[in-house]
Amino acid sequence: MTKTTRSPSPVAALFKTRRKALKLSQVALADRVRELLGPDETFSQQTYAAFEAGNTQNTRFALQIAQVLGLSMDEVSGISPTAKTAPKSVTADAVMLGPIEAWDDETPLDDDEVEIPLLKEIELSAGSGCSAVEHYSKSKLRFGRMTLRRQGIDPSNAICVTVSGHSMEPVLPSGSTVGVDQGKQDIKDGDIYALRHNDHLRVKILYRLPSGGIRMRSFNRDEYPDEEYSPEKIRNEDICVLGRVFWYSVLR
């Protein structure tokens, strides 16, 4: 039987081009990615090699790989598909804040921990949107107070919600949990935000338009083209930015 060969995804091809431009081996890249992950996460050279070669089409570590390679969200989402040849400092549009643990009201907090609501009943759509439901979950996630402070996040402004749909793959696969900072609602072009759109909750890359409108962008732009909304459409469709996505986690 002939084995079917799959081509690498556009994101994998971009990572490979950038990695070679930086003269970074797959082993060295994997080592640096692991430094960004919590102790309960695993990432190996073999895992990365399979993605770069096209043997696997998605990776839940795309944000961390992009950080190591110094790639912006614009480049990963396809604005500039040709990787730059000169190294640059790594800046994080979204960062891993370390290991998290689900808990309930009976679990005591450590001295430097804070509780953030985990609203599993709410799904932030990465597709066309899904209806919000009543908030009744008592589940929470624990974050380090100092870690949040270093990111400029007031714990009282933070919530965690679940992403659904496939438009934000491979960075945010369906089922990802994202942290949202409700204290940062001003749009920074190319950053990821949670927003309410009519009766739906969505997560998208946002850009400001000269007219005062906004552009919504997905990572999976082949299937989900850009959406543009004028100020009038923003009002008519009740579009409201809820906050900036500052953290994400994926369970497979």
Whole-model pTM over 0.75:
no
- To the nearest whole number, what is the mean pLDDT of the chain? 75
Cα–Cα distance between 121 and 201 in angstroms, integer?
Answer: 12
Task: Identify the burial level of 179 via C-beta atoms within 10 angstroms of its C-beta, where 0-12 means exposed, 13-18 middle and 19 or more buried.
Answer: buried
| Per CATH, domain 102-249 is 3.20.20.70 | no
Q: What's the token pair of residue 41?
A: 């996460």
Q: Where along the chain do its domains lie?
A: 10-76, 102-249
**Level-2 CATH architecture, domain 10-76:** Orthogonal Bundle (1.10)
Rounded CA-CA distance 241/184 in Å is 9
With beta carbons less than 8 A apart as the criterion, state whether 161 and 177 touch.
yes
List phi, psi (to 5°) of 229: -130, 125
In the prediction, which pLDDT does 133 show?
39
pLDDT in tens, 72-82: 766 776 533 33
Asked if 129 contacts 165 with a C-beta cutoff of 8 angstroms, the reply is no
Segment 162-214, tens digit of pLDDT: 787 888 887 788 878 888 899 999 998 888 898 888 878 888 999 999 989 99
* Token pair listed for 176: 């990802």
